[in-house]
Amino acid sequence: MLFPSLLFAFLSVFSSDSPKEEKPNIVLILADDLGWSDIGCYGSEVETPNLDWLAENGVRFTQMYNTAKCNPSRAALMTGLYAQQVGYEATYQQPLINGITLGELLKSAGYRTMWAGKHHGFDHPMDRGFDRYYGLMEGASNHFNPGLRREGEAQPAQKRPDRPFYVDRNLFQPYTPPQDYYSTDYFTKYALQWLEEYRAETQPFFLYLAYTAPHDPLMAWPEDIEKYKGKYDQGYEAIRQKRFEKQKKLGLIAEDYPITEAIHAPWESLSDSLQNLEAQKMEVYAAMIDRMDQKIGEIIQKLRQLGKLDNTVFIFLSDNGASAEMVNIPGDGKIGTVGHWTSLGGDWANVGNTPLRFFKNYSFEGGIRTPLIISWPKGLQAKNQFNDFPAHLIDILPTLADLSGATYPEKLDGKPVLPYAGQSLLPAIRGEMEVREKPIFWEWAVGRAVRQGDWKLVAHGKEAPWELFDLSTDPYETKNRIADFPEKAQELRTLFQEWKERSAQQKASGQLSWPSASSDQ
């Protein structure tokens, strides 16, 4: 869709006839298991004033996609390639192949590159283009203490106590941090320290902040939880309906679409004790999102103090939809604290993805659609704009290449790399491109899908039949049209199978020229 103010701003910044512009700084922020409606500017009641400010001073995408799962999403984000092309379609226990990383790309363009937070990959970030790294190399961990029990505290609830953490190249396994540790706080703390350390540099910087919030375990500071006490006592239906109405009021979704059928349990069917438990879980979940927003605000304020805010591009998104996965590790019974691990669950995840179907791990919209906010005071000069261009994580790398002027190489360290699979989103933001020319593909576990134009073919389950949806009239996948348009379904099936075979061939070819995983990594 064409927004005149955006068009003017981008043409002035990126016109080949204009004088050479200073390269923008880039802050890329990735949330973990955040649902499509879980922040204020996408419909939530959770207080996210800093993300809302970015949205009000930038662009919100309404059809931005991920891969439905953590590690393939992060691989696609980092490389501009599908996880199937780089060897991350099923596991992350080997090096990325066939591509370059955002760090390598932007470092080649003269950027200072920094990464704080979750990795969920094999290669050390400082071996793949990043100057600094602090964070968790694997998946979920205790937000208050991922290591050994600290004096005076409960035993930390955890899947295992040896999750590897790095401070630059220094490995801590287990990582037992100071008692003021909270994952969101410390990831931000290191980012702020780096911004201060390099404040006098004239070169631009790239900061990748990969938060682990609001991924389980549900844990938050008491003062943040207190803000949401009693807010969710009204239950799933009421919160979901309020989010839906707010989304329409914001202009995020059309006024004439009905809300999809709920897949959560009726709130009134729960016992009083279970209602109290469910409300408490959501209070903690909301507090985790709130804390993440607070810390994003600290990054914004730091850049304002440094005089670098106006020329900094902020990109915010999530790695998959809200999660219905359940992990319960017996502990001290106090939800939200270091000693108790619990998860959000499918009922609240259905609310988190309002009004979309299903959740993480599914290739339906609730699993694969993410908020995307792009804000750049100097370059966008946009106010509260929406963009309905169908975008994907594979588009982030080419977008950053476009922003930075970086040249995507044909080889890295003498090894060939595949051309990126995505496309820059700048033409879509400028209003120069409304229709995506290439189809988008998904395959994770037993979920699979392909989208071409407004047609989407999707299935969940090894033997599950395909379903066909016209997203132009049915964006929430409520009416299966496969019986009405069998030729279109067959066309999309063929596209999907060709993509799957081509990706497998590319992966196999790449494995011939890249090192295999070492046992001591």
- Tell me the pairing of strands 170-172 and 369-375: unpaired
In a domain, 65, yes or no: yes
Helix then strand count (H, E) for the chain reads 14, 17
Indicate the DSSP class of residue 176.
Answer: -
pLDDT at residue 454 above 60? yes
In a domain, 178, yes or no: yes
Q: How far is CA 103 from the centre of its chain?
A: 17
Summarize pLDDT for 187-219 with one digit per residue, the tens.
999 999 999 999 999 999 999 999 999 999 999
| Stretch 94-110: mean pLDDT | 95
Helix axis angle, 272-306 relative to 183-197, nearest 10°?
Answer: 0
Q: Which of 280, 214, 258 is nearest to 31 (CA)?
A: 214
Alpha-carbon torsion angle 127, 133, 139, 141, nearest 10? 150
- Tell me the pairing of strands 447-452 and 385-387: unpaired
The per-residue pLDDT of the chain, averaged, comes to 92
Q: Establish how many alpha carbons lie within 13 A of residue 128's alpha carbon, considering only the half-sphere containing its beta carbon.
A: 19
- Coil vs helix vs strand at 432: coil
- Say what the pLDDT of residue 513 is: 56
In a domain, 20, yes or no: no
- Tell me the pairing of strands 415-416 and 205-210: unpaired
- Say what the pLDDT of residue 20 is: 56
pLDDT at residue 3 above 90? no
**Could you say which of 41, 119, 120, 143 is catalytic?**
120
Indicate the DSSP class of residue 341.
Answer: B
The pTM (predicted TM-score) of the whole model is: 0.94
In a domain, 515, yes or no: no
Indicate the pLDDT class of residue 511, thresholds 50, 70 and 90: low
Report how many domains make up the chain.
1
In a domain, 476, yes or no: no
Quote the CA–CA distance of 322 and 299 in Å, as a whole number.
Answer: 25
In a domain, 465, yes or no: no
Q: Which domain holds residue 87?
A: 4-14+25-410
Quote the CA–CA distance of 403 and 9 in Å, as a whole number.
Answer: 14
3-state secondary structure 106-154: HHHCCCEEEEEECCCCCCCHHHCCCCEEEEECCCCCCCCCCCCCCCCCC
Q: Are the C-beta atoms of 394 and 66 separated by less than 8 Å? A: no
Q: What is the CATH number of the domain that holds 96?
A: 3.40.720.10
Quote the CA–CA distance of 162 and 160 in Å, as a whole number.
Answer: 6
Q: Which of 165, 190, 203 is nearest to 299 (CA)?
A: 190
| Stretch 46-63: mean pLDDT | 97
Token code pair at residue 9: 């701003």
Q: Establish how many alpha carbons lie within 13 A of residue 388's alpha carbon, considering only the half-sphere containing its beta carbon.
A: 11
Contacts of 243 (CB under 8 A, 6+ apart): 37, 43, 44, 45, 351, 354
In a domain, 477, yes or no: no
Q: Are the C-beta atoms of 209 and 28 separated by less than 8 Å? A: yes
List C-alpha distances in Å: 428 to 243, 388, 425, 437. Answer: 27, 9, 5, 12
Quote the CA–CA distance of 278 and 235 in Å, as a whole number.
Answer: 8
Per the annotation, the verdict on 70 as an active-site residue is: yes
Summarize pLDDT for 319-368 with one digit per residue, the tens.
999 999 999 887 888 999 999 999 999 999 999 999 999 999 999 999 99
Per the annotation, the verdict on 120 as an active-site residue is: yes
**Could you say which of 41, 70, 215, 340 is catalytic?**
70
Quote the CA–CA distance of 35 and 16 in Å, as a whole number.
Answer: 39
Helix axis angle, 49-56 relative to 272-306, nearest 10°?
Answer: 60
In a domain, 430, yes or no: no
Summarize pLDDT for 246-278 with one digit per residue, the tens.
999 999 999 988 899 999 999 999 999 999 999
